[in-house]
Amino acid sequence: MPLLSAARVPLTRAVRIRDAAGERREIQIPVERALTLYVQSRELLTLMTLGQQPELLVLGYLLNQGLVGGVHEVASVQVDWEVAAAAVTLRDRDGPADAAWRRRIARRTVTTGCGQGTVFGDLVEDAAALPPAPAGAGVVDADALAAMLETMRTRPCVYREAGSVHGTALWRGGELLVHVEDVGRHNAVDTVAGWAAMQGLDLRAVPDALLYTTGRLTSEMVLKAARLGVAVVVSRNGVTAMGFELAERLGITLVGRASGRRWLVYTAPRRIGPARA
């Protein structure tokens, strides 16, 4: 496994505001930071992030962008907030000097991603190369889904304290495995991907895995879920047309506008079962 630093920074800061009644008071707001990513000492891009788990964010970003073929290719990820940089060292390859790497990073798509906004490679080609969702993925009954939504609604988090962030959680059955927040929904999913990689967890072999996000389900979000190997994605937000079409093609179940006991199942509804009697 890669050697990771453990860089930590405050996630919120206090500011003085004036409310609608004209009263002055102090509240917390999230701290957004720039983190420039260097691979083999060559600058790749700058991510805007909350900085909750930056090493896992960087690792998940490289995996989800297809810039590394697996966690075994990464020797280390070292984050230094004093210079706002993350240095990635790879094993047994030339990295940015490699021809395949150069071809991929030459193609960039500016996305709707908050806090990120760049995809390397070709979205259409990447989607065509992905396998369909695992056929044996389990069914989530309505009661279990409602219980998960209630847990996420009441869980102590940066959003409840300060707002202005997105959250992503990975569930296995009724167990919450990891919950991450960031200024961008893509960053949060990438951090979950980095966590799963460091755990050696192959989610395609976990039939009851479920990904929860507060962000809208765009094509890029569906691609990230597919790369993770998760067959069910739940969001309290909506779904875009391209996200819908991609999920249909890959057989991924998209559940949107989810709150309380209300939700919309957009694709592959067979995986969302009725409430228990």
Residue 14 has pLDDT above 90, yes or no: yes
Per-residue model confidence as pLDDT tens digits over 122-147: 666 677 788 888 877 788 999 999 99
Taking residues 60-65, report their average pLDDT.
93
Residue 196, C-beta contacts closer than 8 angstroms, at least 6 positions apart = 170, 178, 203, 228
Q: Which H, E and C letters describe 123-150, residue by residue?
A: HHHHHHHCCCCCCCCCCEEHHHHHHHHH
Instruction: Give me the CATH topology for the region 3-129.
Output: Ubiquitin-like (UB roll) (3.10.20)
Residue 154 CB neighbours (<10 A): 9
Class for domain 140-273, per CATH?
alpha beta
Residue bearing the bigger pLDDT, 152 or 102? 152
268: tokens are: 């592959």
Report DSSP state, residue 31: -
Per-residue model confidence as pLDDT tens digits over 215-232: 999 999 999 999 999 999
Residue 28 has pLDDT above 90, yes or no: yes
CB of 250 closer than 8 Å to CB of 195: no
Per-residue model confidence as pLDDT tens digits over 195-207: 999 999 999 999 8
Q: Is this structure's pTM higher than 0.85?
A: yes
Tell me how far apart the alpha carbons of residues 90 and 199 are, in angstroms, rounded to a whole number: 19
Tell me how far apart the alpha carbons of residues 115 and 105 are, in angstroms, rounded to a whole number: 19
The b-or-e profile of 232-246 (16+ CB within 10 A means b, else e) is bbbbbbbbbeebbeb
Tell me how far apart the alpha carbons of residues 78 and 3 are, in angstroms, rounded to a whole number: 8
Q: Where are the domains of the chain?
A: 3-129, 140-273
Measured between alpha carbons, how far apart are the two ends of the chain, in Å?
A: 45
Q: Which residue has the tokens 């993925």?
A: 137
Per-residue model confidence as pLDDT tens digits over 165-188: 999 999 999 999 999 999 999 999
272: tokens are: 């969302």
